[in-house]
Amino acid sequence: MTMKDGARWNVQNTSKINGLDISNGAEVSFSDGGRNVNVSVSRLKGDGGVFKMQGDIVSGKTDKLITREGSEGTHIIEYTDNAKAKTTGREYLKLVENQAGGGASYKLHVRCTEHGGYCYSLGESENSKYVKIDPDGKGDRYLFASTLSTGASSSVLFGEALYQLNAVSDETLVQRMGEIHADGTPQEDNNVWIKRVGGKFSGSRSDYRVGGYGNRYWGFAGGFNRTGFGDKWIHYKGLMLRHLQSSYTPEDYAGSGKIYGRTAGVYSTWLNRESRAYYDLVANIARYKGSYGLTNYAGKRVESDEARLNAYMLSAEAGRRMEKQDGGKTYWWQPEAQLSYWFTRGYGFSLSNGLSAETDNFRSLMGRFGFRAGVDGLDGGRLNIYGKLMYKREFIGTIRHRFNGSAVEEFKHRGGWLEYGLGVVRRNAENGRQLYFEAQRSSMHTMRQNWQVNMGVRSMF
């Protein structure tokens, strides 16, 4: 049989023919009913022919192409997606069986075909990296999981972006209020401050399940505190509100997700006038909402519904400034340590293509240790500059996702990385106002902070 130039053969029953020469977009369409069929060909040849197949990857039932004596040429397989499938990522299907070996090459019409939470590639048994398929030496072709499906991947990236927004909210004292050490002896009882933050995270491509991504974020915060004065201690006790939002984009397919967060918190900060030690305690409650949309590998638009969740944070920071006077300038070095705990409620998505994605409650315990060093008293005593180097470590940080109630994937953030940056503080002692700016970035862990800019103003009255 010869097929070319858009010719079509609708196969209703298992068929056996002597030979098939298929090329130039001609199409063999296997039964689209509830049963699967086989097409057995003595010899297969041609270039650019299309075989349209379908099946149930969970039960192992599928349409199949069989070559009995040999094959040659290049052929395309178009396999029907099924986002509702309850896959686990450990399944595989044989689509092409070469009983006498074959020299033909085959490829999917898309990068991979999506079934449940996974995307399945086409290849020989030895091409499967994550599922073991016994080799047969005949060049048979299989479907096997190679990555998460686009819908599942975007759900994972939502969790990554959420984790990163929590980390941004976990700010340091100087990022929140500027340099309280530069206040001297405050003459006013009240402080009000407002700040803006913006930056970008990127994800490592080392995790085959989701690939790389970028996450841009920005937000603003404001607070008010009363100041108490003791013989040795200055005490700042205040309230704050914050708005943060992010937009993330995957690198391997078209799509984006957005998260909006609002946070209310309280803080209590103590500064010792004599030893220059300080302690900062913070508690936050955050409310997040967000959704995502994408175009899958088959070119179809997929949208999620909206998820809403709460997160809770406790943080403790401590440090001590050591100073050396030199004329009108003060050189200082300040070791700092911080420990923060986050608890984030689970959430779920229902996607327009039928996929269900759920994320369990997750926790984060993040430590920070390092130092800032700088000089005060520049520009007539109004300008302070500093640099910082911090080691940060996540002690928990496991996020668990479930797809269609059958698959479970964990993404672990446990480990350490470096964070470094520069800051500038300009203060006006006459009106009790302070302007502060800090830029930072980090080394790569499971993610990298490409950059972050934090700037604010604090005023006493």
Q: What is the pLDDT of residues 238-270, one digit of tens each?
A: 999 999 999 999 999 999 999 999 999 999 999
Q: What is the pLDDT of residues 98-151, one digit of tens each?
A: 998 788 999 999 999 999 999 999 999 999 999 999 988 889 999 999 999 999
Of 449, 18, 459, 13, nearest to 214 (Cα)? 449
Mean residue pLDDT across the chain: 95
Q: Which domains does the chain have, with CATH numbers?
A: 2-148 (no CATH), 177-460 (2.40.128.130)
Cα(45)–Cα(94) distance, integer angstroms:
20
Half-sphere exposure of 278 (CA within 13 A, CB side): 25
Give CA angle at 89 (86, 92), nearest 5°.
95
> Running DSSP on this structure, what letter comes out for residue 35?
S
Q: What is the mean pLDDT of residues 347-361?
A: 98
The residues, ordered by sequence, that sit 6+ positions from 59 with a Cβ below 8 Å of its Cβ are none
Instruction: Lowest mean pLDDT of 41-55, 181-195, 366-380, 399-413, name the range.
Output: 181-195
**Confidence (pLDDT) at 312:** 99
**Confidence (pLDDT) at 247:** 98
Residue type, 197: V
**Confidence (pLDDT) at 4:** 92
Cα(126)–Cα(138) distance, integer angstroms:
12
- Predicted confidence band of residue 184 (pLDDT cuts 50, 70, 90): low
Give CA angle at 373 (370, 376), nearest 5°.
150
Cα dist from 141 to 41, 46, 106, whole Å: 15, 18, 8
Does residue 186 register a pLDDT over 80? no
- Predicted confidence band of residue 35 (pLDDT cuts 50, 70, 90): confident
Classify 156 in phi/psi space as left (phi over 0), alpha (psi -120 to 50) or beta. alpha
Instruction: Answer yes or no: are the C-beta atoms of 297 and 110 closer than 8 Å.
Output: yes
Instruction: Lowest mean pLDDT of 23-27, 44-48, 188-192, name the range.
Output: 188-192
**Confidence (pLDDT) at 231:** 85
Cα dist from 356 to 73, 157, 279, 370, 400, whole Å: 40, 15, 45, 43, 14
Does residue 429 register a pLDDT over 80? no
Q: For residue 279, what are its two tokens?
A: 């302690």
Cα dist from 121 to 102, 208, 399, whole Å: 19, 13, 26
Does residue 205 register a pLDDT over 80? no
Instruction: Answer yes or no: are the C-beta atoms of 121 and 143 closer than 8 Å.
Output: yes
> Running DSSP on this structure, what letter comes out for residue 125?
G
Cα(383)–Cα(182) distance, integer angstroms:
10
Instruction: Answer yes or no: are the C-beta atoms of 109 and 80 closer than 8 Å.
Output: no
> Running DSSP on this structure, what letter comes out for residue 82?
B
**Confidence (pLDDT) at 340:** 99
**Confidence (pLDDT) at 33:** 65
Cα(429)–Cα(321) distance, integer angstroms:
20
Cα(403)–Cα(96) distance, integer angstroms:
28
Instruction: Answer yes or no: are the C-beta atoms of 359 and 159 closer than 8 Å.
Output: yes
Q: What is the mean pLDDT of residues 346-363?
A: 98
Cα dist from 266 to 9, 11, 169, 207, 281, whole Å: 70, 69, 13, 37, 8
Instruction: Answer yes or no: are the C-beta atoms of 156 and 413 closer than 8 Å.
Output: no
Does residue 211 register a pLDDT over 80? yes
- Predicted confidence band of residue 395 (pLDDT cuts 50, 70, 90): very high
**Confidence (pLDDT) at 455:** 98
Give the CA radius of gyration of the chain: 30
**Confidence (pLDDT) at 187:** 60
Q: What percent of the chain has pLDDT over 90?
A: 87
Buried b (16+ CB within 10 A) or exposed e, 18-57: eebbbbeebbbbbbeeeebbbbbbbbbbbbebbbbbbbeb
Q: What is the pLDDT of residues 264-314, one digit of tens each?
A: 999 999 999 999 999 999 999 999 999 999 999 999 999 999 999 999 999
- Predicted confidence band of residue 96 (pLDDT cuts 50, 70, 90): very high
pTM here?
A: 0.94
**Confidence (pLDDT) at 396:** 97
Phi, psi of 19 (to 5 degrees): -155, 155
**Confidence (pLDDT) at 235:** 95
**Confidence (pLDDT) at 34:** 73
Cα(26)–Cα(55) distance, integer angstroms:
21
> Running DSSP on this structure, what letter comes out for residue 351?
B
